[in-house]
A and B are shown apart, each in its own frame.
Chain A
C-alpha cells in the first residue's frame, strides 16, 4: 500500500504546479524581452534625436 494515500488522485496538484511554472518562468521571460525591446526603442529614439 502506498505510504501517501492522498497522492493517488493528484493530477490537479500536478497541473497546478506546472501551470505555476509556465506562468512564472515564461511570464518573466516575456516581460524581460518586452521590457528590453521597449528600452532599446527609447534609446534608438534618443540616438535619432541627437
Chain B
C-alpha cells in the first residue's frame, strides 16, 4: 500500500511541472520580445520546439526500455517502452500540428514535403506502428523481443531524422539552437526556449513514468482479478 501511495508523488510532481509549463508559456507570450521578421506568430516556437525535443527524448527512452528488455528478457521493461511510444506519439503529433499551423502564415502552406516535416511524419508513423505491433502479439517472450527490436530500430532512425535537415535544404529553417558557431537567437528568446525545452523534457519523463506505473498496476490488477476468478 505504501508503495502505491508513494507513486502518487509522481502524479503530484507532474502537476507541479505542468504549472511550470504554463508559467513558461506565459513568459513566452508576455515577456519575450517580438521577432522582427515573423511578428507574434514566431511564439509558436516555444511550444513547437520543446514538443519536437520531447518526441526525440521519448525515442531515447524507448531505446533504453528496449535494450533493457532485450538484455534482461524481463517483460516489465516493455511497460517503459510502451509508455515512451505513447507519449512520443502524442508529442510527435503535437509537433506536426503546431508546425503545420505555424507553416501557414510563414510559408503560405499548411504542409510541404520538407525533410524535417517528412521525417517527423515518419516518426509518428513508427510510434503508431510500435503501438500496433504491441497490440498484435499476445503477451509473452515473443512480444518482448519483437517490440524491443522495433524500438531499437525506431531509435536508430531518430539521429538520421535530425541530421536530415542538413542533407535536404528546403523550406524548413536551419538549426538555430544547436549549431557550430553559436546560436542565432536573441539571448532572452534563447533563455525562455531552453527553459521550455528543459521543462517539457521533465514533463515527458514524468508522464512516461506515471504511464509506466499505471501499466504495471493494470497488469497487477489483471493478474489479481484472474486469480480471483479461477
Within the complex, are A and B direct neighbours (CB within 8 Å)? yes
Q: Which residues of chain B are within 8 angstroms of A17 by Cβ–Cβ distance?
A: 44, 47-48, 97-98, 101-102
B14 proximal to A (CB < 8 A) = yes
> How distant is the Cα of A28 from the Cα of B11 in the complex, in angstroms?
12
Interface string of A11-41 (1 = CB under 8 A from B): 1011011101100111011001101100110
> How distant is the Cα of A3 from the Cα of B104 in the complex, in angstroms?
14
Shortest distance in angstroms between A15's beta carbon and chain B's nearest beta carbon? 10
Asked, given contacts A33-B11, A39-B217, A39-B221, whether A10 binds B94 with beta carbons under 8 Å apart, the answer is no
> How distant is the Cα of A35 from the Cα of B69 in the complex, in angstroms?
25
Residue total for B at the interface (Cβ-Cβ under 8 A): 46
Q: Which residues of chain B are within 8 angstroms of A33 by Cβ–Cβ distance?
A: 11, 14, 210
> How distant is the Cα of A47 from the Cα of B47 in the complex, in angstroms?
43
B106 proximal to A (CB < 8 A) = yes
- Are A46's CB and B38's CB within 8 A? no
- Are B218's CB and A4's CB within 8 A? no
- Are B47's CB and A46's CB within 8 A? no
Q: Which residues of chain A are within 8 angstroms of B48 by Cβ–Cβ distance?
A: 17
Q: Which residue of A lies closest to B203 (CB)?
A: A25
Asked, given contacts A11-B40, A14-B43, A25-B18, whether A20 binds B101 with beta carbons under 8 Å apart, the answer is yes
B21 proximal to A (CB < 8 A) = yes
Interface residues of B (CB under 8 A from A): 1, 4, 7, 11, 14, 18, 21, 25, 29, 36-44, 47-48, 51, 87, 90, 93-94, 97-98, 101-102, 104-106, 108, 203, 207, 210-211, 213-214, 217-218, 220-221, 224-225, 228
Given contact pairs A36-B213, A46-B221, A47-B1, a sample of 16 additional A-B residue pairs in the complex whose CB atoms are under 8 Å apart: A4-B38, A4-B39, A4-B41, A6-B108, A7-B41, A10-B39, A17-B101, A20-B94, A24-B93, A32-B11, A32-B14, A33-B210, A36-B7, A36-B11, A36-B214, A43-B224
